[in-house]
């Protein structure tokens, strides 16, 4: 069985994990050790199974706890070279490099990546493929949608996608124009509306789980994100489960189905 853990997501910290038959892989480590341990225990994540820490980019809310956690667990950091350099590349932490557009086998997983447009050194969107064939996509701090992003998400069985802000709440909120421009710009984040468009455009019959992540606490709400994204997905025939990540609490572990063989897909899904 494969389970997806959402330990928390937002501007104050992001961390996720995939626990599959060959072990567990952490994706982002934006919490300190004490907070991470507490959330992992509450969610039921066995930290002894973690084989590595994949990092999307170096910003503190995604990587602030990565080096300390890697040292404590004795596992490598897995990231782009640019992210590793931005983290300081310490000699006492092992490093496995991800090269965009090149599948990277790692500890029973295969990682597929592409560079995003966020304002970081070499930020990545990551798809983690398990030995059972599940593909779990993580795409946050994107700045904008691209053809490459839609291609990367297209075959995923589960998608963790940022749905950072509501357009109206951003423009009428307390942020000054310069901050509004950064958030909504090509180096910033995706709005609920764009997240809905991305998911609708990549919708396919084997997509079973969507997690809306990295919600702004200033210019978004779980209700607003869900109310924007879910109708768009359902109109495209999405029959799976939609979750909204919390900044303050982990979600219950999300179990993922084992993908059916290609020859069985037509029998397993309603194509009408």
> What are the structural domains, with CATH classification, of the chain?
2-250 (3.60.15.10)
The pLDDT, as a whole number, for residue 260 is: 59
In this prediction, residues 114-139 reach a mean pLDDT of 94
Whole-model pTM: value is 0.93
What is the C-alpha to C-alpha distance for residues 211 and 198, in angstroms, rounded to an integer? 13
Q: CB neighbours of 122 closer than 8 A, spacing ≥ 6?
A: 57, 80, 81, 82, 83, 115
For 123-161, give the DSSP string.
-EEEEEE-TTS-EEEEE-S-SS--HHHHHHHTT-SEEEE
Residue 21: is it exposed, middle or buried by C-beta count within 10 angstroms (0-12/13-18/19+)?
Answer: exposed
Q: Tell me the pLDDT tens digit for each residue of 35-94.
A: 999 999 999 999 999 999 999 999 999 999 999 999 999 999 999 999 999 999 999 999
């Amino acid at each position: 069985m494969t389970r997806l853990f959402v330990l928390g997501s937002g501007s104050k910290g992001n961390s996720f994990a995939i626990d599959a038959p060959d072990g567990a892989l952490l994706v982002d480590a934006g919490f300190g050790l004490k907070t991470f341990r507490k959330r992992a225990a509450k969610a039921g994540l066995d930290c002894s199974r973690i084989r590595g820490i994949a990092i999307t980019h170096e910003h503190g809310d995604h990587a602030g706890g990565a080096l300390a956690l890697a040292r404590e667990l004795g596992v490598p950091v897995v990231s782009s070279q640019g992210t590793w350099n931005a983290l300081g590349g310490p000699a006492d932490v092992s490093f496995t490099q991800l090269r965009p557009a090149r599948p990277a086998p790692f500890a029973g997983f295969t990682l597929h990546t592409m560079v995003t447009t966020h304002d970081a050194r070499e930020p990545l969107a990551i798809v983690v493929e398990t030995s059972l064939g599940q593909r779990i996509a993580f795409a946050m701090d994107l700045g904008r949608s691209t053809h490459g992003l839609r291609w990367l998400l297209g075959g995923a069985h589960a998608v963790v996608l940022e749905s950072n802000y509501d357009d109206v709440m951003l423009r009428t909120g307390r942020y000054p124009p310069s901050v509004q421009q950064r958030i909504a710009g090509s180096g910033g984040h995706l709005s609920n509306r764009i997240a809905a468009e991305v998911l609708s455009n990549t919708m396919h019959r084997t997509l079973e789980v969507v997690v809306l992540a990295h919600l702004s606490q200033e210019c978004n709400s779980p209700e607003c994100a869900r109310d924007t994204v879910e109708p768009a997905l359902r109109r495209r025939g999405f029959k799976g489960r939609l979750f909204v990540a919390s900044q303050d609490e982990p979600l219950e572990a999300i179990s993922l189905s084992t993908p059916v063989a290609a020859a069985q897909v037509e029998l397993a899904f309603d194509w009408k």
